[in-house]
Amino acid sequence: MRIGMVCYPTFGGSGVVATELGKALAAEGHEVHFITYDQPVRLGSFRPNVFYHEVRISQYPLFDYPPYELVLASKMVEVVRQQNLDLLHVHYAIPHASSAYMAKRILNDEGRHLPVVTTLHGTDITLLGKDPGFEPVISFAINQSDAVTAVSTSLRSDTYKLFGINKDIEVVPNFVCPQHFEGLSGQDRDQFTRPGEPLLCHISNFRPVKRVADVIQTFALLAARMPANLLMVGDGPDRSQAERLSRELGIGDRVFFLGKLKNPLEALAISDLFLLPSESESFGLAALEALACGIPVVATEAGGLPEVIRHGVSGMLSPVGDVAMMAEHAEFLLQKENHDRFKKKALERASAFDIKRVLPEYHRIYNAVLSATPVD
């Protein structure tokens, strides 16, 4: 197959999943063409069957905001024509599925049928879904897709609740690639913690929905009970607030803000516990990657997180905002006998999301849309 992969090229979960999916498909011999405004951060250097097409946006005085959706649709048409693509797999309804619909209509007028698979990742539903100004376009773009997937049962339910959807939405979860976790070393751990002291970790884009202040408050409660240290990986609008709060709570010397890391798995590899107190998570890819490193997770009962973390088995869940309970869970999991048991179960849980288990689901969906009778 020749597949066009459209995603955000950033460190976010949707871009990571789309990129790793494309690389896995290319390794099987499929031809994968990434279409986006920058090279995806996980794409890496040259590899067979993988191609990148940059969407370049020109600045015109006429527009207050660059018309990315229109330029993206035009680029999709160009790549489909030149590379003879079989289908487009777009990640996010807005602007990717709506642009794909426009491209599909243009190509349909040329007599070319282009199936579109749309994967919903969360923000396009849980955030934009609260803005009625986006509802008609999002509903239309989803309904016009040939196949629609969501990364969790929770996200699928939210989509049906918030939008007028008449399409079947299949749940295909996010995944991990085991080879990415091979050879990770804990040799840099001594830079951040003393022997015998646990090291906690949080990874996010530091947006309000991630509740990074809760990370700091949870850790402060834990640090009052035992010596520990915390890695804060990522960046975003709430970073300054979190840094200030850590100093105010007297734990500034135990909290390390590392910013964005090209490979955040290196931070996970030296950690003992992962904190994810999000207000909303469609899936929680960072939590899954922590489990794949053998790290128990303390998280909230938000969105798709209970579908990833088994409470009392591979981690602990609590209500959103309950930092006292999260601190208690952290203290419990860091006790050696508990940590050893949860570490083993974390690895077992992560194996259920091995890409080898998930990839056949996308094969099935691709084959179904390619074999379906075109409908004008």
Total domain count, the chain: 2
In terms of domains, do 168 and 261 share one? no
Let me know if residue 184 belongs to a domain. Answer: yes
Let me know if residue 376 belongs to a domain. Answer: no
Domain of 303 in residue numbering reads as 179-351
242, 252 in Cβ contact below 8 A? Answer: no
Q: CA 364, CA 371: separation in Å to the nearest integer? A: 11
Q: CA 52, CA 370: separation in Å to the nearest integer? A: 23
Let me know if residue 201 belongs to a domain. Answer: yes
pTM of the model: 0.91
In terms of domains, do 163 and 230 share one? no
Instruction: Enumerate helices (H) and strands (E) in the chain, giving the number of each.
Output: 14, 13
In terms of domains, do 268 and 127 share one? no
| 3-state secondary structure (DSSP) of residue 3 | strand
Handedness of CA 208, 214, 220, 226 (dihedral sign): negative
- The pLDDT assigned to 375 comes to 56
Let me know if residue 80 belongs to a domain. Answer: yes
For residue 77, the surrounding DSSP H or E stretch is: helix 68-83
Beta bridge partners of 5: 34, 89
Let me know if residue 120 belongs to a domain. Answer: yes
Length of the chain: 376
Let me know if residue 241 belongs to a domain. Answer: yes
Main-chain phi, psi angles of 229, to 5 degrees: -140, 160
**311-317 contacts at long range (C-beta below 8 A, 24 or more positions apart):** 313/342, 313/345, 313/349, 314/342, 314/345, 314/346, 314/348, 314/349, 315/274, 315/287, 315/291, 315/342, 315/346
In terms of domains, do 125 and 226 share one? no
Cα Rg for the chain, rounded, in angstroms?
21
> Which residues of the chain fall short of a pLDDT of 70?
11, 60-66, 126-130, 186, 373-376
In terms of domains, do 336 and 362 share one? no
- 297-300 sheet: strands from edge to edge: 255-259, 229-233, 199-203, 273-276, 297-300, 315-318
In terms of domains, do 23 and 166 share one? yes
223, 249 in Cβ contact below 8 A? Answer: no
| 3-state secondary structure (DSSP) of residue 330 | helix
In terms of domains, do 250 and 115 share one? no
DSSP letter (8 states) at residue 373: P
In terms of domains, do 339 and 367 share one? no
In terms of domains, do 190 and 146 share one? no
**Helices 135-143 and 98-108: angle between axes, nearest 10 degrees:** 50
- The pLDDT assigned to 373 comes to 66
CATH number at residue 98: 3.40.50.2000
In terms of domains, do 278 and 326 share one? yes
In terms of domains, do 329 and 367 share one? no
Let me know if residue 75 belongs to a domain. Answer: yes
Let me know if residue 267 belongs to a domain. Answer: yes
Handedness of CA 91, 97, 99, 100 (dihedral sign): positive
In terms of domains, do 46 and 96 share one? yes
